[in-house]
Amino acid sequence: MSDIIEMNGLDGTRKKITGADREALAAALRGETLIEGDAGYDAARSIWNGMIDRKPGLVVHAMGASDIQSAVAFAKEKGLRMAVRSGGHQIAGLAVEEGSLMLDLSGMRSVHVDPEAGTVRAEPGATLGDVDRESQVHGLAVPVGVNSTTGIAGLTLGGGFGWITRKYGMTVDNLLSADVVLADGRCIRASKTEHPDLFWALCGGGGNFGVVSSFEFQAHAIGTEVLSGLVIHPFAEAATLLPKFQEICDKAPDELTVWSVLRKAPPLPFLPEDWHGREVLIFAACYVGDMAKGEEAMRDLRALGTPIVDVIGPHPFTGWQAAFDPLLTPGARNYWKSRDFLKLGRGTIEAILGAVEELPDPQCEIFIAHVGGAMARVPSDATAYPQRDSHFTMNVHTRWDDPAKDADCIGWARDLFDATAADAAPSVYVNFLPADDAGRLAEAYGGNLNRLQEIKARYDPTNLFRVNHNIQPQQVRQAAQ
C-alpha cells in the first residue's frame, strides 16, 4: 500500500491518503479496505440504480460496529467526505460519492428473532427479504416495504411503509431501539428511554445523525399467509375506476391495503398474451388477518368493472413481499418524482391518465399507494417522519435501460410532477426523493425540521454525515444565512 490516493475533503479540498494511512486503517478492521482495481471494489460501488456510476476513493467493507467506529474515526481524522451504503437501493444514489470514502455495510446482514418477546434485531446490511424470511419462521412480521431487495436501514431511517402499515403502523412506529456510532466515535443505544431525542430523529430523519449498526423492531403475529394479489383492468376503464379506488381506500378496514399501478402490462404468466405490452390499470391488494373477513373486505374491489384477470388468493407472506421484485431488478436506469395527495382530484387523475398514454419506456409506471389506518393515528410530531394524515403517495417510477433515453424519460417524469402540483399536499416521502430534489426537505419534514436541525447540532455539529438528504446542524444553517 505505497501509492498515495487523493480524496474529497470536508472542507472542499483534496486530501492525500498514504499507503501507511490505509495500512493502519486496514489493521484496525475485521473487514477490509478496497481501492479501484481490487477484487470486490466494483461490486461494493455498484448499487440498485444503474444511472449511478461513481468511483469512491476508498471503500471500507465493514463487518461490525468496531469497523464502523474505525471508519468514522478515519474520516474524521483525515477530514474526508464519507458516504454510507447499506442496501444501496435509494433512488438518489447517495450511498456512493465520486472520490470520497465509502462505508459499505452490505456485509452486515445478520437477523435475530426473539419469538417469545416478539422482537427482531437486524444489522444495517440486511434486506427486507432477510427480515421477512427470518421473522416468518415464527409467523411474525415487521411492517416494511414492498421490494425484498430494499435495505432495511435506508427504509427505516426514512420512515418505511408497505402492505401491513395500515394495520401495524410504519416501520419507524415499530422501531424499539438502535445501536448508533456517532460522529465522535461513541457507540450508544438510542430508544424512547435512552437518548430519546436521537431516537426520535432516527425515526425518519435519515442517516444524518450517525451510523446505525443494529436495529431492534417490534414484530407482529400475522401467520404465514395473507390474502393478496392483483386485479388487472384495461386502461380504458381507468378514468371510471380510479375515483372508485379512492372510495374503497377511504373506507377500508385497517387490515386491507389497496394500491394502484398504471403501466404497460409485463408478460405475466397469468395474463393473456394479447395483453402483454398494452396499457393497463393494476390494483394490488393485501389483507392481513382472517381469510374469510378478507374476502368480504375485498368484495367491492373485486366487483369493479370487468377485469382482465383477478388473481387474488391466499399467498405466503414472503412470496407476496417479493412479488414485484422481477420489475425492480438492479442495474436499470431509474428516476423518480413523487407527490402526496390527501385526495385524488379530477385534474390529478386526468394528468396521470394523459401521462400513461405517453409512457417513454415499457418499464415506466405510475404507482399510487394509499396509507392510513394505524399510521394515521400517530401524532405528526411523535417521530421525525411527519405526514400522518391518511393520504395517497404517487411515485412516478421512470425506468429504462438505454442511456440515449435519459432526457425523454426524466422529462416525462418531471412533466407529470408539474402537472399534478395543484392538488398536491405539502409533504413528500424522503425515501422517494431523487438527488435533484434536495430542496424539498421542508416538505419531507414539515414542522419537525427545526427540531431535527437542533438535534443534528448536538450529535453531529460538524456535519460529518452529510452525503445524504442533508439536514444541516442549526449553527451551520444560521451561518449560511
* Residue 99 near residue 212, CB atoms below 8 Å: no
* Residue 64 near residue 30, CB atoms below 8 Å: yes
Please enumerate in sequence order all residues whose Cβ is within 8 A of that of 183, keeping only pairs 6 or more positions apart, or say none.
72, 76, 210, 459, 460, 461, 462, 464, 465
Please enumerate in sequence order all residues whose Cβ is within 8 A of that of 47, keeping only pairs 6 or more positions apart, or say none.
85, 88, 89, 90, 93, 95, 96, 330
* Distance separating alpha carbons of residues 131 and 147, to the nearest angstrom: 12
**Could you give the angle at which helices 406-419 and 346-356 cross, rounded to 10 degrees?**
160
The whole model's pTM is what?
0.96
Q: What angle do CA 378, 379, 382 make, to 5 degrees?
A: 95
- pLDDT at res. 88: 95
- pLDDT at res. 481: 39
* Reported confidence tier of residue 476, pLDDT bands at 50, 70, 90: low
Burial class (CB in 10 A: 0-12, 13-18, 19+), 58: buried
- pLDDT at res. 480: 45
**457 pLDDT exceeds 50?**
yes
Q: What is the pLDDT of residues 371-427, one digit of tens each?
A: 999 999 999 999 999 999 999 999 999 999 999 999 999 999 999 999 999 999 999
**117 pLDDT exceeds 70?**
yes
**479 pLDDT exceeds 50?**
no
- Cell 401491513 sits at which residue? 164
Q: What is the pLDDT of residues 227-270, one digit of tens each?
A: 999 999 999 999 999 999 999 999 999 999 999 999 999 999 99
- pLDDT at res. 475: 75
- pLDDT at res. 3: 85
Pairing of strands 175-181, 211-218: antiparallel
- pLDDT at res. 297: 98
Q: Which three cell numbers stand for residue 215?
A: 436495529
Q: What is the pLDDT of residues 289-345, one digit of tens each?
A: 999 999 999 999 999 999 999 999 999 999 999 999 999 999 999 999 999 999 999
**63 pLDDT exceeds 50?**
yes
- Where do the domains of the chain lie, and which CATH numbers do they carry? 5-104 (3.30.43.10), 111-221 (3.30.465.10), 225-440 (3.40.462.20)
Region 22-45 average pLDDT:
97
Region 444-460 average pLDDT:
98
Q: Which residues pair with 390 in a beta bridge?
A: none
Q: What is the pLDDT of residues 189-218, one digit of tens each?
A: 999 999 999 999 999 999 999 999 999 999
Q: What is the pLDDT of residues 88-115, one digit of tens each?
A: 999 999 999 999 999 999 999 999 999 9
Q: What is the pLDDT of residues 124-159, one digit of tens each?
A: 999 999 999 999 999 999 999 999 999 999 999 999
